[in-house]
Amino acid sequence: MKKILVVCMGNICRSPTGEAVLKNKAERLGIDVLVDSAGTIGFHQGNPPDRRSKAAGEKRGYSFKGITSRKVVQDDFDNFDLILAADNANLADLKQQCPDHLKYKLALFLSFGSSYYQEIPDPYYGEGDGFELVLDLIEESSDAILDSF
């Protein structure tokens, strides 16, 4: 079974959305994959996803059941086949933590697919339309990510 880790800064908006979307799409397609999410900081550790992020995702039929914030740990680099960062800042943080021989596992989430965007913008300080854009970008790239398996 392949394992994917989706990473953003706090693990309450973008990465839990990526986890929920990838899990749902993989299940619908019958792809055997384990998906998890984490943050590069542990400020929100143990908290559920941001209510706005969850509401936007649930409106599109995604389940956030069982998703809680956690920080990236060293074992993640060994345990996951693909580690997808929401943006370049988080990718840089991951590259600093990741052993050199495992850096091939790291990529930007939006490097899959054909999005005009290179990074998933952080909607935390914005309004509802930011959460919709995050979902649009994640949905588009998720298909390409799962096709790569």
The residues annotated with a catalytic role in the active site are 8, 14, 122
Q: What are all long-range contacts of 139-144, with beta carbons under 8 Å and residues at least 24 apart? A: 139/21, 139/25, 139/60, 140/113, 140/114, 140/115, 141/109, 141/110, 141/112, 141/113, 141/115, 142/18, 142/21, 142/22, 142/25, 143/25, 143/113, 144/112, 144/113, 144/114
Tokens 């992020």 sit on residue? 53
- CA distances, 27 to each of 20, 37, 49, 134, 139 (Å): 11, 17, 21, 21, 14
